Amino acid sequence: MKGVIFRCLEELVIETKGMDLWEELLEQHCPSDRVYISAQSYPDEELVALATSVSKTLNLSMPETLKAFGTYLFSFLAKKHTSIVNEFHSFEDLILSIDKVIHSEVQKLYDEPNLPVIDASVLDSETIKLIYNSPRQLCFCAEGLIYGCAQHFNESVDIQQTTCSHHGDSMCTFIIKHG
């Protein structure tokens, strides 16, 4: 996972719980003197270990924690990659372009990023079906990112997950009602 994702977690933890907790988490789960550089890659297990500790500290489940993180991550990425996010003028427009536009741009900007495969399609004017597929199995983070995207466009959303790779399905499916 790229450093940019860790830096977002760092910002969220420091803003909500303070620097001391973040220092403690780093000490527990990372090699000494760990510094996250956005464009560099770090082990996925390190992010999972940090997020697991955060979930324990907050008394939240891992899915709840990853959802909250994903929601925050959208605004963090939107700030860092303003020109990419500003290409889109609606929630639907952006969600339909995650794979072919946004993550294609990410592919050009970052060296060998690990991205999911996302296939979004319109069911009707207020419903989008989104299929998420990734060996990293971060569907809860994806769901949070979708919430964050809705907040960005001031839209309300209702998201139902109808299949999940954590429950034996081959992919994760979300039915997104918006508007």
Contacting residues toward ligand MNH, per CB under 6 A: 1-2, 4-5, 77, 81, 84-85, 95, 98, 102, 106, 110, 113-116, 134, 136, 138, 141-142, 145-146, 149
Residue nearer to ligand MNH on the CB measure, 2 or 178? 2
Contacts of 123 (CB under 8 A, 6+ apart): 129, 175
If the CB atoms of residues 24 and 52 are measured against ligand MNH, the closer one turns out to be 52
Residue 20 C-beta: closest distance to ligand MNH, Å: 27
Q: Which is nearer to ligand MNH, 39 or 123 (CB)?
A: 39
Site of tokens 């990853």: 66
Nearest distance, CB of residue 174 and ligand MNH, angstroms: 9
Cα–Cα distance, 169 to 132 (Å, whole number)? 11
- Shortest reach from residue 115's CB to ligand MNH, in Å: 6
Shortest distance (Å) from residue 113 CB to ligand MNH: 3
- Residue closer to ligand MNH by CB (options 117, 123) is 117
For residue 173, count other CB atoms closer than 10 A to its CB: 17
**Alpha-carbon distances of 55 from 1, 62, 65, 83, 166, rounded to whole Å:** 19, 6, 6, 32, 18
Closest by CA to 70, choosing from 156, 157, 158, 139, is 139
